[in-house]
Structures are given as C-alpha cells and as structure tokens.
C-alpha cells in the first residue's frame, strides 16, 4: 500500500492539472495558499467527442488563468457553453463575470447575486450540454449556497469546498451551519452507496479515488471535533478563541482564524442541541 492510498479518500498522486476522468479536465488556478492548498481547481467537463464544454468554478479574477481555461478547451476542439459555480467564495467565483464575458456564456449558481442570466440551479436538476449530464446536489454547510455536481457517467462528484482533496474544510460561520454540513455529508455518502460514486473531483487538492472513504472520514472527523469542543467548554474554555487554542493546538496558527469559524459553528450546533 502506498502512502497516498493510506490517506482518507486515496488522493491521486502526480500532476494536479490535466485530465482526471473521461469527461473532466482540471486547470489549476495560480492562487495557492494555506487556505486554497495548491490553488483552485477549475473543471472543464464535456462528453467525449462533443464540441461543447461546461466550466465549473472559473476561479479568481486572474486574466491569465481565465484565458488558459478557454485555450485548454479550444485545444480539445471545444467551445465553452455554460459556466457553473459550486458556491460564491472569491477563490471560486470572483472571475466568473469576466469569464462569462470572454466566453459569452451564462453563469448559473444557487445564489441569485452570482448569476448572469435568468436561470438558477435547483436540487435534483439535470443539466445537459452536448450530451453531458450533470445532476445538481444541494450541499449547504460550508456556505449556505454550496452545491455539488454529480457526473454519473464517470461515477464522480464535483464537491467544491464541501470535500477537499487534502485535509478538511471550514464551516464558514455564520453563513455556514454545521447541522446543514453534516446532512450534506450524509447526502454525499448516499451517492457513494446508492449511486456508485467513487471519485471526488474537489475544489482544491488532488482527485480522490475513494469517495465513500473520504466522506466517512469527514463524518468521523466532525464527530471527533464536536466531542473535543464539548469537552473544552466543560473545562471552562468559554470563548471561541479559547476553544481554538485548546482544540486546534496542533494546527498551524495561521489557520486559527479559519478554525474559529468552524468552532463558532460547532458551538452553535452544540447549543442548539442542548449539549452545552
């Protein structure tokens, strides 16, 4: 067993940019950071042999990146026909308006403020472009407007920030809510069990080959963190900052502000369920 295979979700090694499945190609944005890992994954999706493509999450407002996404599609003989957003955080969506201008496409998202065009995205909706089929999966929690896209033909799901290729994601309180996030993880687990999804195409980090393993790890991790936060409060750590210092002591301090968002969401969840 390789080291990568031993990690949750079995992250795929090698180059992050390029073909990931028969229908998905990643163009990695140049915005690497502690929060974005290697950068934002911008996904180009198309049915084999089709001249039309869909782009999910154009990424930051970086002209070079946006034009590279377009040229990647053009080199494959494709015209970008539609732009989709998993959620509205700037590292995924800031470049969407400019990308739509360059490609003359509509932008569809759950949040009306992010759309360019009349159509939004609804739970269970099937999007068809050039023979490609995508199914909209509502997955609030990281943010209220978070969506995933199920790609049945590749037994894959595009998860945005709901499941990452490495590490775990932030529940971005107050917009994100932990109860919603746990429900979303269970919804993704159902996709792996009932619909045969085995590949995660994340918003950041490498492709995951074991979708069920990744989701199970996320659920176990959240349960463990909740127990730690509950214990910290019982031990007299009353503020989110104090809980972060206690529970996330092994995490790089540069990530503590993000960890505090998750702690606030955890405290809210524990209070709502009468556990603290």
pTM score, two decimals? 0.94
In angstroms, rounded to a whole number, what is the distance separating the alpha carbons of residues 234 and 137?
Answer: 37
In a domain, 209, yes or no: yes
Phi, psi of 128 (to 5 degrees): -120, 125
In a domain, 3, yes or no: no
User: Residue 123's pLDDT is what?
Assistant: 85
Domain, as residue range, for 189: 18-273
Distance CA 8, CA 218 (A): 9
pLDDT, position 6? 60
Beta bridge partners of 45: 24, 54
Q: Considering the domain boundaries, does residue 2 fall inside one?
A: no
In a domain, 111, yes or no: yes
- CATH number of the domain that 181 lies in? 3.60.15.10
Q: Is residue 246 part of a domain?
A: yes
Domain count, the chain: 1
Domain membership of residue 266 (yes or no) is yes
> 5 in a domain, yes or no?
no
- Residue 200 pairs in a beta bridge with 157, 208
Tell me the per-residue pLDDT of 13-63, one tens digit each, with 9 for 90 and over: 887 899 999 999 999 999 999 999 999 999 999 999 999 999 999 999 999
> Domain for residue 8, yes or no?
no
């Amino acid at each position: 067993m390789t080291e990568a295979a031993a990690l949750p979700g079995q992250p795929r090694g090698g180059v992050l940019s390029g073909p990931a499945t028969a229908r998905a190609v990643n163009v990695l944005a140049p915005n690497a950071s502690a929060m974005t890992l290697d950068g934002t994954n911008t996904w180009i999706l198309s049915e084999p042999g089709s001249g039309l493509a869909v782009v999910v999450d154009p990424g930051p407002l970086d002209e070079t990146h946006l034009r590279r996404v377009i040229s990647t599609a053009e080199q494959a003989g494709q015209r970008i026909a539609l732009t989709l957003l998993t959620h509205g955080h700037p590292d995924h969506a800031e470049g969407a308006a400019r990308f739509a201008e360059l490609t003359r496409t509509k932008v569809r998202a759950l949040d009306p403020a992010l759309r360019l065009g009349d159509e939004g995205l609804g739970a269970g909706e099937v999007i068809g472009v050039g023979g490609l089929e995508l199914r909209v999966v509502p997955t609030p929690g990281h943010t209220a407007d978070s969506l995933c896209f199920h790609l049945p033909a590749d037994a894959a799901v595009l998860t945005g920030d709901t499941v990452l290729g490495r590490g775990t994601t932030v529940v971005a309180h107050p917009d994100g809510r932990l109860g919603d996030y746990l429900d979303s993880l269970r919804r993704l687990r159902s996709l792996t069990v009932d619909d045969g999804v085995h590949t995660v195409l994340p918003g950041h980090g490498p492709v995951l080959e074991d979708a069920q393993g990744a989701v199970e790890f996320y659920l176990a991790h959240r349960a463990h963190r909740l127990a730690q936060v509950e214990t910290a409060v019982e031990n007299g750590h009353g503020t989110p900052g104090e809980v972060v210092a206690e529970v996330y002591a092994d995490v790089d301090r540069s990530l503590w502000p993000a960890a505090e968002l998750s702690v606030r969401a955890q405290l809210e969840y524990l209070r709502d369920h009468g556990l603290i």
